[in-house]
Amino acid sequence: MSTKVRALTRYYLLDQLKYLGWVYALLIATFALLPALFALISGSFTAATLPNNLSDLGVGVIFWFFIFITMSLTYENFKLCIQNGISRRTYFKARVITLLLLSLIGVLIATIYYFGVTANFQHHSALKALLVQPYGGLYGRFFGSNVFINIVGYVVFTWIFMVGTGLTGMAIGGALSLLTTGIRRLVIVVVPILGFFALILIANISSSRTYPNDVDTPIEKLFKFLIGYNADGAAGSFNPTVPVITMIIGCLVMGAIAYYVNQKLKVKN
Amino acid sequence: MSIQVKAVSQAFHHQTILDNVSLTIEPEKIYGLLGRNGAGKSTLLNIISNRIFADHGTVTLDEQSMRDNDQTLGRIYLMSEVNLYPDRTKLNKLLDTTTQLYGDFDRPYAERLAKEFGLDLNARFGKLSTGYRTIFKLIVAFCVPADYIFLDEPVLGLDANHRELFYNELIETYSEKPRTFVISTHLIEEIANLIEHVFVLDHHQITVNGSVPDILERAYTISGSDHDVTTYTQGLNVIGADHLGGITAHYVYGPLQDDRPIPDTVKIEHLDLQKLFINLTNTKEEAHVN
Amino acid sequence: MQFNFNSTEPIYLQVAEQIEEAIFARTFSEGEQVPSTTEISKEFHINPATVLKGMNILVDANLIEKRRGVGMFVVPGAQGRIVEKRRNQFYDDYVKNLVSEARKLHITKPELAQLIERGFQAK
């Protein structure tokens, strides 16, 4: 790693961790302290109010939003870099390294919080807590009976997912910054609408069955393949290999797009 | 040892901004980059500092391409009208960041300059007035470890006292640590004696490129009665004219004809840089309009 | 030191002339330090290289000298040398013009001598 990549990575990591701290503080204030305060005023406050609120925070979901938004601020960060004699490639490298480290930190915090705080308050065992998670519901038993190993699997799986989210943010943020203001606004409005219609279309196609009920449509087959569906296994024992490979391919594609638009970044007057 | 701009062309929306521009910027010299609004000065500086990519041509520093290159980009600094610093960040923090990313930064000097200019380093960048934004960017420009410093409109929003202070500090820091400054400004009179070498960018091309004394040596005011002046300057490169009462002045850029007798009624003097610039960049516009 | 710069002569020559004038007028006396390149440069916003070029003319003329690490000093006898130089120029610069103008005005030689006498007395 060159000196500049290291210096820039260090800068970003510290900067992002600071913001993440603020986001968590805001999360606690909004969803735990404020409701507790209202409860206090309305007289429904009990000893369990605050711990209950605290145990229910969506730390992982918030982090998911955070990593997407912070990584989509491609142009804002680029400006400071080019002013300080940093090349686009160094900028890209530092951001990707930051994303990898920050995602791991974020996932670990969310995991520790979930299994350490939330699960405790809900009086769930580690296994139960894992299995009620979307990941656990599908793959929670894949690595056998050792809960810890399955939790590690969960961490790795979620980490890759967060990295993919961040790279998608980078690609979208970078691509949008290459457009002129007018076209950018148009894209921001039109693309979600098109996406919505596309979803309806897909739903229609997949629900209009021309196949007998016991035979899957091609889309159902594809979907089952992608999530690693296993007809014989019970819930929690699906195979995460295909989804992991799919996510990694997704990361590489998004990373390639993000790199491509990153190299085209330029200062706007 | 130099920055070489070779055959750089740039267009935005099919409109030419730079047309085949080539120039060399040498170490430890003070340059003036002059041009009227829209002549392409900022675009040229943006290309050199790799903020934008040229459509054609190359920029090198010591024979190394400056395209996406940490080694070369770390040796230059462009202070521009465009604000690239985040609004919500405090100046002290920005100095920290600059230190981290440039690798070296004269912090004591920056703090001394801030005090001299009356700039509060605890303020946020976005809260500063135009003048103080300029001052902050100038302070960074003076304190980064760059060999080539580009100052695009360095006195924008500065009052007379701050301008004086800026010129003094520029000379002070240049004398102590010689490095190249390229100054792009509209206030030509203020830098006329400060710059060693001048580039004039006019209608997307470099029309003047030379040392200031050499260029002024070739610039003349020929004044006297209309008839005599017109006769004398026939065939010379007349770049402009003024008339006041019966007196006519022709501005000539280029050699005079030595064998031509100078009538007693005609006076020949040298032009100053500002007047030369105005006349050089005026004529073409008139031709353009007609 | 008060500099009056005009725009028509190269700046480095003007720097040399102004310092020479100051030595001649004993604003800087012999053995005394003259302002540094940077000081002059800052005061008048002139490129330090230009100021140095002007100073070097005076160094070459043996009017000022560089003392390592200290600065530029007026050489002993500099004022006298400037007076000497200007005396030599006096004939070319003034007497020739005086006589040629006098001829145009039909002023005779004794008349001119008388006028010069009057000039001395008026003082």
Residues 6+ apart with CB under 8 A from B270: B216, B217, B219, B220, B221, C7, C8, C9
Is there a contact between C50 and C8 (Cβ–Cβ < 8 Å)?
Answer: no
Q: Which residues of B touch C7 (CB under 8 A)?
A: 270-272
- Please tell me if residue B103 touches chain A, with a CB cutoff of 8 Å: yes
Per-residue CA distances from C76 to B25, C52, C67, C69, C87 (Å): 42, 21, 14, 20, 19
Are residues C25 and C53 located together in one domain of the fold?
A: yes
Going by C-alpha positions, the residue among B125, B124, B73, B127 that lies closest to residue B102 is B73
- Please tell me if residue B272 touches chain C, with a CB cutoff of 8 Å: yes
- Please tell me if residue C13 touches chain B, with a CB cutoff of 8 Å: no
Whether C99 is in a domain gets the answer yes
pLDDT digits 0-9 by tens, B158-197: 999 999 999 999 999 999 999 999 999 989 999 999 999 9
Tokens of A106: 């974020």
pLDDT digits 0-9 by tens, C70-100: 889 999 999 999 999 899 899 888 998 899 8
Alpha-carbon gap, residue B23 to B6, rounded angstroms: 7
What's the gap in Å between the CA of A92 and the closest CA on chain B?
11
Q: How much is the pLDDT for B287?
A: 42
Going by C-alpha positions, the residue among A61, A257, A76 that lies closest to residue A167 is A257
Whether C2 is in a domain gets the answer no
Going by C-alpha positions, the residue among B18, B16, B9, B14 that lies closest to residue B201 is B18
Strands B219-225 and B247-253: antiparallel
Going by C-alpha positions, the residue among B102, B20, B86, B106 that lies closest to residue B57 is B20
Helix axes A241-263, A218-227, angle to 10 degrees: 90
Are residues C28 and C68 located together in one domain of the fold?
A: yes
Share of residues in chain B with pLDDT > 70 (%): 97
What sign does the CA torsion over A184, A186, A192, A195 have?
negative
pLDDT digits 0-9 by tens, A38-59: 888 887 777 777 777 777 778 8
Alpha-carbon gap, residue B176 to B184, rounded angstroms: 22
Strand partners, C73: C33, C65
Q: Is B252 helix (H, G, I), strand (E, B) or coil?
A: strand
What's the gap in Å between the CA of B268 and the closest CA on chain A?
45
Is B270 in contact with C7 (Cβ distance < 8 A)?
A: yes
- Tell me the ipTM for this assembly: 0.90
Q: Which residues of C touch B252 (CB under 8 A)?
A: none
Alpha-carbon gap, residue A69 to A86, rounded angstroms: 22
- Please tell me if residue B290 touches chain C, with a CB cutoff of 8 Å: no
- Tokens 């594809």, residue located: A222
Q: Which residue of B has its CA nearest to A83?
A: B84
Chains C and B touch (3+ CB pairs under 8 A): yes
Return the CATH fold of B3-210: Rossmann fold (3.40.50)
pLDDT digits 0-9 by tens, A217-226: 777 788 888 8
Question: Left if phi > 0, otherwise alpha if psi is -120 to 50, otherwise beta: which for A267?
Answer: beta
The domain segmentation of chain B, as residue ranges, is 3-210, 218-289
- Please tell me if residue A151 touches chain B, with a CB cutoff of 8 Å: no
Alpha-carbon gap, residue C19 to C52, rounded angstroms: 12
Is there a contact between B195 and C47 (Cβ–Cβ < 8 Å)?
Answer: yes
Q: Which residues of A touch B97 (CB under 8 A)?
A: 11, 80, 84
- Tokens 């099919």, residue located: B14
Is A228 exposed, middle or buried (CB count within 10 Å of its CB: 0-12, 13-18, 19+)?
buried
Give me the number of domains chain C comprises.
2
Q: What angle do CA B129, B130, B133 make, to 5 degrees?
A: 85
Are residues C72 and C90 located together in one domain of the fold?
A: no
Q: Which residues of B touch A88 (CB under 8 A)?
A: 68
- Phi, psi (rounded to 5 degrees) for C57: -60, -40
Q: How much is the pLDDT for A118?
A: 87
Strands B267-270 and B219-225: antiparallel
Tokens of B30: 């003070």
Q: Which residue of C has its CA nearest to B169?
A: C42
- Please tell me if residue B92 touches chain A, with a CB cutoff of 8 Å: no
Is there a contact between B215 and B276 (Cβ–Cβ < 8 Å)?
Answer: yes
Q: Which residues of A touch B85 (CB under 8 A)?
A: 79-80, 83
Q: For residue C72, how many other CB atoms are within 10 A of its CB?
A: 21
What's the gap in Å between the CA of A144 and the closest CA on chain B?
48
Are residues C69 and C89 located together in one domain of the fold?
A: no
Mark C94-113 as b/e (b = at least 16 C-beta within 10 Å).
Answer: eeeeeeeeeeeeeeeeeebe
Tokens of A117: 């705080």
Q: What angle do CA B263, B269, B272 make, to 5 degrees?
A: 155
pLDDT greater than 90 at residue C51: yes
Lowest mean pLDDT, pick from A47-56, A229-238, B51-60, C2-11: C2-11
Q: Which residue of B has its CA nearest to C47?
A: B194
Alpha-carbon gap, residue A187 to A172, rounded angstroms: 11
Are residues C64 and C88 located together in one domain of the fold?
A: no
Are residues C71 and C92 located together in one domain of the fold?
A: no
Are residues C98 and C84 located together in one domain of the fold?
A: yes
Is A196 exposed, middle or buried (CB count within 10 Å of its CB: 0-12, 13-18, 19+)?
exposed
Strands B197-202 and B30-35: parallel
Alpha-carbon gap, residue A263 to B12, rounded angstroms: 19
pLDDT digits 0-9 by tens, B222-242: 999 888 899 899 889 999 999
Going by C-alpha positions, the residue among B185, B156, B196 that lies closest to residue B36 is B185
Q: Which residue of C has its CA nearest to B195?
A: C47
Lowest mean pLDDT, pick from B73-77, B141-145, B277-281: B277-281
State the 10-residue block means of pLDDT for chain A, 269 residues long.
91 94 91 84 78 80 94 93 96 97 96 90 87 87 89 95 96 92 89 91 73 69 81 76 94 97 91
Q: Which residue of B has its CA nearest to C45?
A: B194
Are residues C36 and C71 located together in one domain of the fold?
A: yes
Alpha-carbon gap, residue C88 to C83, rounded angstroms: 9
Going by C-alpha positions, the residue among B266, B233, B267 that lies closest to residue B252 is B233
Alpha-carbon gap, residue B135 to B116, rounded angstroms: 11
User: B interface mutation test: which of C41, C52, C53, C104 has the most B CBs within 10 A?
Assistant: C41
Is C47 in contact with B167 (Cβ distance < 8 A)?
A: no
Q: Which residues of B touch C48 (CB under 8 A)?
A: 171, 174-175
Per-residue CA distances from B189 to A22, A181, B273 (Å): 51, 39, 7
Q: Which residue of B has its CA nearest to A94?
A: B101
Tokens of B4: 């070489």
pLDDT greater than 70 at residue C2: no
Are residues C86 and C112 located together in one domain of the fold?
A: yes
Tokens of C72: 């530029």
Are residues C63 and C96 located together in one domain of the fold?
A: no
Are residues C85 and C68 located together in one domain of the fold?
A: no
pLDDT digits 0-9 by tens, B247-289: 999 999 998 887 788 887 888 888 889 999 999 988 544 443 3
Residue C106 structural domain: 79-122
Is B191 in contact with C41 (Cβ distance < 8 A)?
A: no
Whether C1 is in a domain gets the answer no
Whether C67 is in a domain gets the answer yes
Chains C and A touch (3+ CB pairs under 8 A): no
- Phi, psi (rounded to 5 degrees) for A105: -60, -45
Whether C108 is in a domain gets the answer yes
Q: Which chains sit next to B, with 3 or more Cβ pairs under 8 A?
A: A, C
Q: How much is the pLDDT for C10?
A: 85
Is C46 in contact with B194 (Cβ distance < 8 A)?
A: yes
Alpha-carbon gap, residue A208 to A195, rounded angstroms: 20
Residues 6+ apart with CB under 8 A from B54: B8, B9, B10, B18, B47
